[in-house]
């Protein structure tokens, strides 16, 4: 049975928490007497769960859960952004790439689903382009809320034991919002050393909610990677 998910299924409590924390963080800058180097870009590492419940083989009646189970796979990725406007916040443009891999058992019968001894693997390499706006108004701002939107290109491959490989790509878009928590206050001396030795101006712990609509812009395919998820990670601003 195909599972449908609400793309805007964000709880009111989550939105309220984000706005409260954003308000506190915007007006709570972290004091530092050290002169900082100029910053113009950022590099991020991101990790989070991935489970595309809308992937299915329609003619065969096989869903993602039937083969790869109901658990999450791990998304890991990196992203680079260039800060292009720094007045009234920060507007940045950039891109990223990631890797997702899931393994399961091929089915020897569909109704009811029965797993065989053959192993099957699914690999996805997502690539995206982003436009990000950060509500960064003060030097050393403790919490920086952000929103972003962009385009996606997913390369995928499914490999089965003793059978041909299935491969292809899907395109789509995404939107996201989250926050970046400044870590320099934990160890101001380490923050100064990173700036002097490596040019890293600020280090942030990041959290992001993302909705991705990856089905070749609403074309009907067996491989629809649309999903809701969240990412946690670390961002270096330099």
pLDDT digits (tens, 9 = 90+) for 135-173: 999 888 999 999 999 999 999 998 887 676 889 999 999
Strand pairing report for 143-160 and 114-134: antiparallel
What was the pLDDT predicted at 4? 43
Long-range CB contact pairs, 104-109, < 8 A, 24+: 104/67, 104/68, 104/69, 105/67, 106/67, 106/160, 106/161, 107/62, 107/66, 107/67
How far apart are alpha carbons 28 and 89 in whole angstroms? 15
Closest CA to 144 of 33, 42, 6: 42
Residue 39 CB partners (closer than 8 Å, separation 6+)? 83, 201, 202, 237, 238
What was the pLDDT predicted at 112? 65
Interval 76-134: pLDDT, tens? 999 999 999 998 999 999 999 999 999 988 776 566 666 676 788 999 999 999 999 99
**pTM (predicted TM-score):** 0.79
pLDDT band of residue 55 (cuts 50, 70, 90) is confident
How far apart are alpha carbons 64 and 60 in whole angstroms? 12
What was the pLDDT predicted at 90? 96
Alpha helices in the chain (DSSP H): 12-26, 64-68, 188-198
Domain coordinates of the chain in residue numbers? 17-26+56-179+208-229
The rounded radius of gyration (Å) of the Cα atoms in the chain is 21
More confident of the two residues 4 and 219: 219
What was the pLDDT predicted at 21? 53
Helix (H) or strand (E) holding 133: strand 114-134
33 has pLDDT over 50: no
Q: Report helix, strand or coil for 54.
A: coil
């Amino acid at each position: 049975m195909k599972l449908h998910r609400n793309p805007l299924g964000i709880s009111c409590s989550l939105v309220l928490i984000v706005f409260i924390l954003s308000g506190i963080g915007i007006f709570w800058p972290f004091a530092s007497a050290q002169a900082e180097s100029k910053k113009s870009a950022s590099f991020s590492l991101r990790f989070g769960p991935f489970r595309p419940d809308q992937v299915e083989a329609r003619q065969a009646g096989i869903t993602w859960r039937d083969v790869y189970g109901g658990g999450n796979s791990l998304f890991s990725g990196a992203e680079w952004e260039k800060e292009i406007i720094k007045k009234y916040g920060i507007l940045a443009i950039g891109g990223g790439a990631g890797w997702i891999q899931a393994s399961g058992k091929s089915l020897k019968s569909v109704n009811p689903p029965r797993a065989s001894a053959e192993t099957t693997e699914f690999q996805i390499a997502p690539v995206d382009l982003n436009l990000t706006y950060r509500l960064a108004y003060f030097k050393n701002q403790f919490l920086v809320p952000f929103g972003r939107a962009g385009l996606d290109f997913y390369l995928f491959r499914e490999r089965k034991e003793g059978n041909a490989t299935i491969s292809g790509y899907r395109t789509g878009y995404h939107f996201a919002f989250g926050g970046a928590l400044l870590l320099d206050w934990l160890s101001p001396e380490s923050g100064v050393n990173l700036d002097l030795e490596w040019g890293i101006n600020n280090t942030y712990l990041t959290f992001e909610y993302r909705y991705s609509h990856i089905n070749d812009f609403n074309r009907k395919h067996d491989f629809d990677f649309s999903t809701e998820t969240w990412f946690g990670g670390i961002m270096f601003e330099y």
